[in-house]
Amino acid sequence: MKKVYAIGAGMTKFGRHPVKTGRELIIEAALETVDSVDRGIDLQKDVEASWIGYFTPELYEHQGQYGPITSDCLGLVPKPAWRTEIACASSSAAILTGFFAVRSGVFDLVLVGGIEKMTTLSTEGVTDALSIAADNIFELPAGITFPGIFALIAQAYFKKYNVTWEDLQAIPIKSHHNGTLNPKAQYQSEVLELGNKFGKKKGISFKDPMDFLKSPLNPTVAYPLRLFDCCPITDGASFLLFASEDVAKKYTDTPIEMAGVGNGTETLSLHDRPEMTSSRATIYASKMAYKMAGVRPKDIDCTEVHDCFSINEVIQIEDLGLVPRGEGIKAAKEGRTSLDGDIPINMDGGLKSKGHPVGATGAGMFCEIWKQLRGEAGKRQIPDAEIGMISNVGGSAASAGVFILRR
């Protein structure tokens, strides 16, 4: 089996791109990926196959066939191309498939990534589109939405571990701070700055973040979760280039090894799960990745996790074994998950601040770890980072992809 290395990574700015089509976002992200390769690359000549994750192009753009569309946009026709889908982990499916294609020796150089063009629909339309990742037999007929699903998870966690919504707010405050250091983030402002921006319209000012977060200007979306516990609606695309060891050396002296990968599943419906405050998908995928990489949680220098809602960052870092059960919120409050903490989480601002273009999210998280391990993350750089991890989940964590990268 061949070793697999990431030799390039690139992404669009995440946010609202009302005048750009999905195809234009693909081209923009791919061009940045090409530019990131140290010795340059001829995309049309050198790439042998491509995979792109896109959750629901049929609903956002009334368009299927995003495999050949990507191939066409990037001049890769007639080479093989596929679209992958496992909800919010759709680009993780592309990453996993591309990884195994190179590892097995079928291909030596592939392009993988993801896209979602969400702002073509209203908030109500996006909520409806995303709902197909929940159980259409047992959950959707009851009127559940994803904010509602994660609100139930939050209630279960608060009760089990005797913590409060106020305790949880350490996470969005931290995430928005990190987002101020990321030029690709959808929101590049501190929570307090955004609060005073909202308050100015009503003649209200706030002295600290919690004053704003507890105010009516941060309304309840699904109790106990409020607006700033929820990720935004986002457009964006992201890509990665994977190569076998011999080929990677032709393009760069500092390739990043894909040391371990994992995939896992959980029941789609919440009521079938033995535990509301954990996902077997993430646990299984992380064990797979740790074993393949030959590392343990304590060896990880920096991590990107799937914080679609603030409570899920807590669940994620506990499922990954980075902190003991019930101590995820405590770790955030103590500053352990901050940039200068011992387990830095979501250095780029996470889904909460950077944005969550569903199909592009996993590859976007990968971009951050790739930059961190190459020492290219700017003001949010974790000193001497050698091993990084990505944990991307789909829906209510019914699907999971975990990746461990090594410098």
Q: What is the strand order of the sheet 235-244 is part of? A: 81-84, 49-53, 109-117, 235-244, 4-11, 256-265, 399-406, 387-394, 302-305
Q: Is residue 308 annotated as a catalytic residue, yes or no?
A: no
Question: Residue 396 is inside which H or E element, if any?
Answer: none
Q: Which of 88, 230, 231, 367 is catalytic?
A: 88
Q: Is residue 367 annotated as a catalytic residue, yes or no?
A: no
Q: Which of 176, 177, 306, 356 is catalytic?
A: 356
Contacting residues for 35 by C-beta, under 8 A, at least 6 apart: 10
Lookup: tokens for 297? 């949680």
Helix, strand, coil percent content, the chain, rounded in steps of 5: 45, 20, 40
**Is beta strand 109-117 parallel, antiparallel or unpaired with respect to 49-53?**
parallel
Contacting residues for 33 by C-beta, under 8 A, at least 6 apart: 8, 9, 10, 111, 113, 239, 240, 241
Query: What span, in angstroms and rounded, lies between the C-alpha atoms of 83 and 64?
Result: 9
Place of tokens 């979602």: 116
Query: What span, in angstroms and rounded, lies between the C-alpha atoms of 196 and 198?
Result: 5
Place of tokens 């999210």: 361
DSSP single-letter state for residue 78: T
Of 177, 156, 176, 113, nearest in space to 392 by CA: 113
Neighbours of 37 (CB within 10 A): 18
Output the furthest CA–CA distance in the chain (Å, rounded): 64
Catalytic residues: 88, 356
